[in-house]
Amino acid sequence: MVVLVTGGNGQLGQALQAIAPQYDKLRFYFASSQEADITNIDSLNAIFAKVKPAYCINAAAYTAVDKAESEPEKAHLINAEGAKNLAEACLQYNTILLHVSTDFVFDGKKKTPYTENDETDPQGVYGLTKLQGELEIQNVLPEHFIVRTSWLYSEYGNNFMKTMIRLGGERDSLSVVDDQKGTPTNANDLARALVQMIQSGITEYGIYHYSNEGSATWYDFAKKIFDINNIAIDLRQIPTSAYPTPAKRPEYSVLDKSKIKKVFGLDIQDWETALTKTGHE
């Protein structure tokens, strides 16, 4: 059974590459953004015709949250139009799509974990274009899984963990926001969850939430990273107001994982355990 992974060289794509050899009943095909340009329907048709995938994991996205505020057209082209193109290709080739989305589709005003049924209200261009992508997929393709995740990190690509480790080696002190709460998610765990969804053969299509268990602020996340790596640094807590960014972040974006655990029987580890396993350079 062939699984096509778009965005194969990105953070999640690399995490999937690392575990792919463990699944001998699946044949993974990792396509870079050059080989499978989701903004180009002809490019997608060519790769789908060549690979004939039973499943497609879309790990291709525009994820530069702040940059999206000044590049809304580019973010929309990749996150919304690209998702639509992919859904149309999946429809044509009878492929089941697993599309990765984000906690940024919510406004962050809740105080309890967000469920799949909660109202969406993105506060920035990135979240808006990701939500538009979700809607395009829902309009085009019945056979889809939309998996929203949060605060993704790993040893691959660019992410908060790697940035903190780098800054820890360069600076004596660091200030990190302590009034935004969410859940750090290990990209390796998300990769395994997506493959388990495929292996299950379950067809309860729709939206699912996946992150590691528990919650943290960015300060909590940073502190744990420094502790694991034995980095001595003067780490200070600051409010969001002291660190203005072009894009507004959700104040609270913890995701409720009840649905994905119930439907697919997933065992999800807490974020601190997951970080301890991966959080070293």
- Catalytic center residues: 126
d(Cα 91, Cα 53) in Å, to the nearest integer?
11
d(Cα 118, Cα 69) in Å, to the nearest integer?
25
The helix or strand, by DSSP H or E, that contains position 136, with its residue range, turns out to be helix 125-140
Q: Which two tokens stand for residue 273?
A: 């355990």
Q: Cβ neighbours of residue 49 under 8 Å, at least 6 residues apart?
A: 93
Cβ atoms < 10 Å from Cβ of 197: 23
d(Cα 141, Cα 93) in Å, to the nearest integer?
11
Strand 181-182 versus strand 216-217 pairing type: antiparallel
Q: SS3 for 145?
A: strand
Spatial CA neighbour of 145 closest among 3, 14, 1? 3
**For 222, phi and psi rounded to 5 degrees?**
-60, -45
Query: Sign of torsion, CA 205 16 212 171?
Result: negative
CA dihedral 195, 199, 203, 208 (to 10 degrees): -30
Q: SS3 for 9?
A: coil
Q: Which two tokens stand for residue 38?
A: 């989701």
Q: Cβ neighbours of residue 255 under 8 Å, at least 6 residues apart?
A: 103, 113, 114, 148, 149, 150, 183, 209, 210, 211
